């Protein structure tokens, strides 16, 4: 796998990226992270960028990936942070690596499709819902759906577009890189969501912070609310008016929260 490491001797924080992205750590958060001495680690999830595809991977696979990278880098304990589909990958690490993960943050992350929890009816554009409905019909149906799909601007709020025009244009760049180098990562990410996750979020004992915009059109905030209500160690920050991208303006505050657990 392709791994990114900002270096340093401070506390390590793994960044788990969304779909389709690559794993470069979030540059807009570097100044805030520097104040805490945080060392960022990221990696291209299999099927994106410099990491070959791993068919059949689950959300739980992230724990094995992160653990192997930490071993290779000589890092014993660390925190994890995921945005969008990176959220449940961060939760997998928290659930399956309780002796290594100090704390976890999920920003705009979804609950499992058909988990018995929230549905996706709060997303006016339905972009993510359409992908997951296709994934539920199987790999071939999902591949056909993705091949025929076009970007729908209604999945983002005006605030999201303003964020993308500003410093969070960074996420637009890594999304373009992820799409350009996609070897099947998008397909595998969506299949991982509709299939068994490979872990039970309710077993998480380490501190977890859920951050979600109440105006999110891609992943309704009910997903974080539903997950947070079922994890005893969880806190939930809901931000009125924030969307799927604009919510990242709250990310520097999450580093303050993380530092209190590092």
What span, in angstroms and rounded, lies between the C-alpha atoms of 12 and 9? 8
At 250 the pLDDT is 94
Sheet of 101-107: strand order equals 3-5, 39-43, 12-16, 78-83, 101-107, 208-213, 234-239
Q: What is the pLDDT of residue 152?
A: 84
- Nearest by Cα to 94 from 195, 21, 202, 226: 202
pLDDT over 60 at 199, yes or no: yes
State the residue for tokens 């998480």. Answer: 204
Cβ distance 198 to 225 under 8 Å?
no
Mean pLDDT of 197-210: 97
- C-alpha 20/C-alpha 258 separation (Å) is 26
Percent of the chain with pLDDT over 70: 97
**What pLDDT does residue 124 have?**
47
* pLDDT class of 125 with cuts at 50, 70, 90: very low
State whether residue 78 is helix, strand or coil.
Answer: strand
Angle between helices 61-73 and 86-96 (to 10 degrees): 70
More confidently predicted of 154 and 73: 73
| pLDDT at residue 154, as a whole number | 87
Predicted confidence (pLDDT) per residue in 126-150, tens digit: 567 888 889 989 999 999 998 998 8
Residue 155 phi/psi, 5-degree rounding, is -75, -15
**Superfamily of the domain at 3-259:** Alpha/Beta hydrolase fold, catalytic domain (3.40.50.1820)
Res 127: pLDDT:
63
224-259 tens-digit pLDDT: 999 999 999 999 999 999 999 999 999 999 999 999
DSSP 46: T
Give per-residue pLDDT as tens, 5-15: 999 999 999 99
């Amino acid at each position: 796998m392709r791994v990114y490491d900002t270096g340093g001797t401070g506390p390590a924080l793994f960044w788990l990226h969304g779909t389709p992205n690559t794993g470069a750590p979030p540059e807009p958060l570097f100044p805030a992270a520097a104040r805490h001495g945080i060392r960022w680690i990221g990696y291209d999830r299999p099927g994106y960028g410099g990491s070959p595809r791993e068919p059949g991977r689950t959300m739980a696979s992230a724990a094995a990936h992160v653990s192997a990278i930490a071993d290779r880098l000589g890092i014993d304990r660390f925190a994890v942070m995921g945005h969008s589909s990176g959220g449940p990958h961060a939760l997998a690490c928290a659930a399956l690596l309780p002796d290594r993960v100090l704390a976890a943050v999920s920003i705009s992350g979804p609950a499992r499709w058909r988990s018995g929890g929230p549905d996706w009816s709060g997303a006016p554009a339905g972009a993510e819902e359409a992908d997951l409905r296709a994934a539920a019909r199987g790999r071939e149906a999902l591949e056909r759906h993705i091949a025929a799909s076009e970007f729908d601007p209604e999945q983002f709020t005006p605030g999201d577009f303003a964020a993308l025009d500003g410093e969070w244009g960074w996420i637009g760049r890594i999304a373009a890189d992820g799409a350009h180098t996609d070897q099947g990562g998008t397909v595998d990410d969506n299949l991982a969501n509709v299939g068994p996750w490979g872990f039970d979020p309710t077993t998480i004992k380490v501190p977890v912070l859920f951050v979600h915009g109440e105006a999110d059109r891609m992943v309704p905030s009910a997903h974080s609310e539903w997950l947070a209500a079922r994890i005893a160690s969880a806190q939930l920050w809901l931000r009125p008016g924030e969307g799927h991208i604009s919510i990242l303006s709250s990310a520097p505050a999450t580093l303050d929260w993380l530092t209190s657990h590092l």
